[in-house]
Structure 1
Amino acid sequence: MAKDDRSTPPPLPEPLAVAVADSHTHLDMQSGTPAEGLARAASVGVTTVVQVGCDVPGSRWAAALAEEFEQVHAAVALHPNEAPRIFLGDPDGWSGQHRAPGGAAALDAALAEIDALAALPQVLAVGETGLDYFRTGPEGVDIQKESFRRHIEIAKRHGKALVIHDRDAHDDVIAVLLEEGAPERTVFHCYSGDAAMAKTCAEHGWYLSFAGPVTYKANHVLREALSATPLDRILVETDAPFLTPHPFRGRPNAPYLIPVTVRAMAAHLDLPENELATAIAANTARAFGY
């Protein structure tokens, strides 16, 4: 593939015989209209998607899209990196420049809107929330933890699933979940832990959602984690437009590429494709309550 072709969307894969859901996607960050993206996905057997918000505007957009399209369910939250930005008055990220006033009042106002959106019937989850120690420096850790705890409370009060973003923070994420009491339905989005952590998650009844990285040649640890996950706790996602599965890594991702990841997972688990797809479909419906 020529370097210039990296912006070209991958071709449509062969359709799945058993329809599944993309448990985590960002249609607002993808090219084309949502209707076009949903139609492409449906044409290959991806008939349901969970549209995930990462900030207040994105969460509003997710809720509106889920109200418009029956096959879309919404998740709303402040991303772990978003909470420190709001609190520290740095909406453009960790620029190192002078930050305008933010503070607890700004974070409270943003969380109040997430709370209101979480009450809507088309919003089935609170997330993605959690901890991210890769992009946020030490000054943001306590703010992230406070935001995470408050999202957990929102999810439990509204009876919604909780969608976890966990990057370089495995032990702390689990510690906060156990301290606060995880919601009955908790999903680790784009699971990135090892097999031991997968077993811990399974012991607590949490769901693990696998994305494109499980298909990457060097990710043996992630495939070992997949093997360690009970079949009734496995979900699949794109996190599109990010994390495109092999052999299309580096090209634009979208929900229609879910079959590529499902087939790679089934091959690794030595399961018939339809058996894994059937389990994923049932697991996703149970995890999100639809």
Structure 2
Amino acid sequence: MLTPLTPVPFREPGSDGSGRHGFPPAPEPLPIPVMDNHTHLDFRSGSLTVDASAALDAAEAVGVQGAVQVGCDLESSRFTVQAVERDSRLLGAVAIHPNDAPKYARNGKLEDALSEIEILASHPRIRAIGETGLDFFRTEGEGLAHQRYSFRRHIDIAKRLDLTLQIHDRDAHDDVVQVLKEEGAPSRVVFHCFSGDEDLARICNNEGWYMSFAGTLTFKNAGDLRSALAIADPDRVLVETDAPYLTPHPFRGRPNASYMIPYTVRAMAELTSSELSILCSGIAANTLRAYGSWD
């Protein structure tokens, strides 16, 4: 059974009575609907919990008409399959997160976990393998070998099932690109929460890989990220929350949710001197190319 997420309740976003620790106010709706291509509806931010359906209702009210629910281990990947069956506004991604791969490996359970991920990925509303990749920030030593092995196996699953690959890349840009080129990348690759600079953006442009920008784009120390967006191929640009994390400025530190997407999209329009409706239309079209229809 799908694990229930108790509502806060999700009244108006930002009016839950918990002050600066609560959900930020709802933004002005977007002129053209877009999708949040990376969220974690099963994750909780501190003591706040959110009913998945209510969260999607709040997002839809401001022009975020769908989302990709992302699994990071077996429990959250099972949740993802059940969630996409319950709400047609969701598509899903399933995987073993790079920081979890060493834990499964140390327990002798990585192969079994990868086998189950492939079974879960056969569901018609699971459209991506992810998030997978490399994380040199939280993992070191022998864990890196397990990460690399797991990443290669996920690439293989994505290719055999013709699914999009959602990449987690933290402090590992060169190595992620190297593995993708050695293994042969799937036909659709998304750099989730793109964290690279202009050099990585150029590689993504050349390879036809999608760059998904999150609230980090609005952070004061994100100069390299803004420079990357400036040269990113508009046909390869997506948007996400990574909720409940990475809440955009000026609400950083408060819980994130899909309804916050308009704050990031408006920042993207300002940074690229784009007309907002044109940018929204482009993001929506790119998302459909990356994951297929929500219908």
Correspondence list, 1:219-230, <5 A: 219-230=222-233
Say whether residues 1:77 and 2:95 are aligned partners.
Answer: yes
Determine the structure 2 residue equivalent to 1:41: 59
Deviation track 1:129-168 (CA, whole Å, cap 9, x = no partner) reads 0000111112211100000000000001111100000001
Amino acid of the residue matched to residue 81 of structure 1? N
Deviation at 1:32, TM superposition (A): 1.7
Distance 2:41 2:285 in 1: 23
Say whether residues 1:165 and 2:176 are aligned partners.
Answer: no
Runs of 4+ in structure 1 over 4 Å off:
none
Say whether residues 1:25 and 2:39 are aligned partners.
Answer: yes
Distance 1:120 1:283 in 2: 22
Determine the structure 1 residue equivalent to 2:264: 261
Q: What RMSD, in angstroms, separates the aligned Cα atoms of the two structures?
A: 0.8
Deviation at 1:288, TM superposition (A): 1.0
SS in 1 for 2:42: helix
Distance 2:215 2:278 in 1: 20
TM-score for the superposition, normalised by structure 1:
0.92
Structure 2 segments unaligned to the other structure (5+ residues): 1-17
Deviation at 1:127, TM superposition (A): 0.2
Deviation track 1:149-208 (CA, whole Å, cap 9, x = no partner) reads 000000011111000000011000000000001100000000000011101111000000
Amino acid of the residue matched to residue 292 of structure 2? G
SS in 2 for 1:66: helix
Say whether residues 1:108 and 2:111 are aligned partners.
Answer: yes
Bigger Cα displacement from structure 2, 211-220 vs 43-52: 211-220
Distance 1:153 1:69 in 2: 29
Correspondence list, 1:1-290, <5 A: 5-30=19-44, 31-88=49-106, 102-103=107-108, 106-290=109-293
Distance 1:226 1:28 in 2: 29
Amino acid of the residue matched to residue 147 of structure 1? S
TM-score for the superposition, normalised by structure 2:
0.91
Distance 2:216 2:141 in 1: 27
Deviation at 1:128, TM superposition (A): 0.1
Total equivalences in the alignment: 272
Determine the structure 1 residue equivalent to 2:6: none
Structure 1 segments unaligned to the other structure (5+ residues): 89-101
Distance 2:234 2:214 in 1: 16
Amino acid of the residue matched to residue 132 of structure 2? T
Deviation track 1:87-108 (CA, whole Å, cap 9, x = no partner) reads 11xxxxxxxxxxxxx23xx111
Deviation track 1:99-120 (CA, whole Å, cap 9, x = no partner) reads xxx23xx111000000001111
Deviation track 1:210-250 (CA, whole Å, cap 9, x = no partner) reads 00110112211100000110100000000000000011000
Amino acid of the residue matched to residue 185 of structure 1? R
Deviation at 1:7, TM superposition (A): 1.4
Determine the structure 2 residue equivalent to 1:94: none
Distance 1:20 1:143 in 2: 36
